[in-house]
Structure 1
Amino acid sequence: MHLGHPHMPTEAGGDAPARTVRPEGTRRALRIGLGGPVGSGKTATVAALCRALRARLSLAVVTNDIYTREDAEFLLREAVLPPERIKAVETGACPHTAIRDDISANLEAVEDLEDAVGPLDLILVESGGDNLTATFSRGLVDAQIFVIDVAGGDDIPRKGGPGVTNADLLVINKTDLAPYVGSDLDRMARDARERRGTLPSVMTSLKEADGVAPVARWVTDQLAAWVA
């Protein structure tokens, strides 16, 4: 569910929002999904968020790949979190299936992490690379980030799609590449505002020091609202 949405939590399943408490009555971790096309920088964003937040939050990550565990292995090589805080899901089909249609494997991974290393403040669920229609079930995550990159074309925000228009946060990544690929950042920002209305968008370059800062601030704001 969107944080602050007026409806009450119900049983997880389909698009029904997940319960906010664990079976024993404790508050569960906030779950934030990250989706976006192949190569947009989802895994790099997850890694940067882990580095930025791990000193003050208890967090874990679930990754999704079709036939491999490549994204989880990248996070393990980068040592962004202890190995027991990273779980991989092999979807075996289009990535959107496991984050929107049949979320059981991801829910199991999330719950296993909370059982094994909890209590947790935050769990990041990274989708496998998908197209602009990929969205997360509200039975799996509480808020979702959609990552695009300037190399994919500066017309992406204008073209829209559910990922671009409806995600709780849109991240326009790899802004450092704009001069080399001919992308107009002002145009992308303007089109994002027109498509998304009051929903926020940020621009990032993870090559810059603290380039993930605007995303990290948004995540900590979501967590503060969740705890409150």
Structure 2
Amino acid sequence: MAFDIAALGRWVALFRDRVSDEQERLTALDSAIGDADHGANMARGTAAAVAKLESATPTTVGEFGKAVGMALVSTVGGASGPLYGTFFLRFGASGGDGAELDGPALAAALRAGLEGVVSRGKAEPGDKTMIDAMTPAVDAFEAGASDLVSAARSAARAARAGSDATEPLVARKGRASYLGERSAGHLDPGSVSTALLFEALAAAAEEVSA
């Protein structure tokens, strides 16, 4: 079993749908510790990414990652655009000229995306950022990559647990860090949208296997 270009596109479409459904919640979370624009920004960016894929269907994983990454960079405001954009650009670069990704190759692409986000944002686990959801998700996917569907489900659960664990943390990166101790008691909105990203991946994997 593998993710072809259509399945990768479906992943992004499902991510868009989840972000759209959760837009108001993402905005409410961001209003507590940020600029109150994460929901709107992510909804706009994911819609633009899907539109880009529909207007010029990529033929390789590299083209897919570039299309999605550049759409997010150019349409999502704040730090989230460059971070999510870097994730998909690095993801695509890992897949290169291939037209599909099996479990291990998908794991490698996810790892490359994570490393790109870490390099760009300079955040570590525990800083109360999207890294708190993305790191355990990628770790979980890698651990079970031989079974793509199971790995994607595990990654989704790990991402959600990682996001939930940001609530008591004091932010050390990003705008929320300006609040100091007052940032505790709130979920990091970037970690919540990251959980949606991996839940969409799991849903796409289930569709592929059906």
Same fold (TM over 0.5): no
Q: What is the TM-score normalised by the length of structure 1?
A: 0.30
- Could you say which structure has the higher helix fraction? 2
Between structure 1 and structure 2, the one with the greater Rg is 1
- Could you say which structure has the higher strand fraction? 1
Q: What is the TM-score normalised by the length of structure 2?
A: 0.32
